[in-house]
Structure 1
Amino acid sequence: MSVLTVRKLDYQIAGRVLFKSLELELASGSSVAITGSSGSGKSTLLSCVMGLIRPTGGTVHIDGTDIAGLRGAALARHRSTHIGMVFQFGELLPELSPLDNVALAALLAGTDRRTAYNKAEELLSDLGVPDADSSEELSGGERQRTAVARALVNAPALLLADEPTGALDSATREKVADILFAMPDRYACGLLVVTHDPAVAARADRALTLADGVLVPAGSR
């Protein structure tokens, strides 16, 4: 079952073509890693997938819905219930505990308080995140595991990660990568990772390179 289908995606900015009939398919339970030079459009592609940037042409289907046809609250609702996002620096609210950070994502999606906190506690326990009064007390790896829990709390069909190991030391990077690439099987989602690290990309079921506006198998260019 496809959780992400990108067809003939076009996008240009300031006269520069970033995507030219770009195609991408990602199935539930599988992972894709995208590498590419700085400025090639990797993070922009994630923004198109999230509906934050409108492409100039083509379609992006998330769990069967073309997000180009969604606007405002409908787009935000589809994004919060079908997509989970892990950023390079975690982007946690530092004054909140790990539990509150994760539960907040569920509460904003409309989950009742008791269920939100139960789900958050279960995920944090599953990912080995310790109790803390604030996320500032956590190590870098623990913050990223909290970010993964937050991304998963609404049981998304699609998990996105933008340079999720880029700010970590080598040992912590390996642990976080282990966790991330176990997610598709463990939680029945698709995983799309943007990374500059070829070792991380090699863990994916498919590794692609974004070059000249299209995606090609890694190493083919």
Structure 2
Amino acid sequence: MTFKAALLHFAVILIAALAGPRFAAAEPLQLVGFGDSLMAGYQLPQEDALPAQLQRQLAAQGHEVVITNAGVSGDTTSGGLSRVDWSVPDGTDGVILELGANDALRGIAPEQTEKNLEQIIIRLKERNIPIFFVGMLAPPNMGDDYARTFNAIYPRLAERYDLPLYPFVLDGVITERSLLLDDGMHPNTEGLKLMAERMLPLAGTWVAGIRGQSN
């Protein structure tokens, strides 16, 4: 090998070595949206569901992510606990955890809801999977005592396990009839778009933190 050829060979190796980490950093983060019908996109195409909406908005801010939709309509925290191990595959970089609405609608004891959510959090943390925690508020018809106990679950768990908390998944949507389906409970496409927009600042910070830890 001539000196010039050897120099060129070295330059190619050096460029590849320098570029490697940059290409690795550009790999999309693999996230999972784990929840109920509010995550699943009840009666809507998958491209309109919350994971897809949030993925597009994060991408517009320069965050390379893929958010897999693991929402199941009608799921309770008990159902989520029973499937979290197989619904969140190995290699997942982060989970958006949104559960509890159906517990409140069914009047499940808040203490049980909290235990289930805590076990889900513990299982994910045991796998070193970061969590973006999405809260829920009890419907008014459940009464003040129930609401007071239920609504305290999310901030308490967020503080206990040091999780970023988006306090109320339906914030700005549930009171706007034009943003809901005919059932008056589930968001339509525009409602989900607004939900993603409102989550975006906190979700973007969370994603950036995961990216920073992986570099």
Q: TM-score, normalised by structure 1?
A: 0.36
Higher relative contact order, chain-length normalized (CA < 8 Å, sep 6+): 1
- Specify the structure having the higher radius of gyration (Cα): 2
Q: Which has the higher strand share?
A: 1
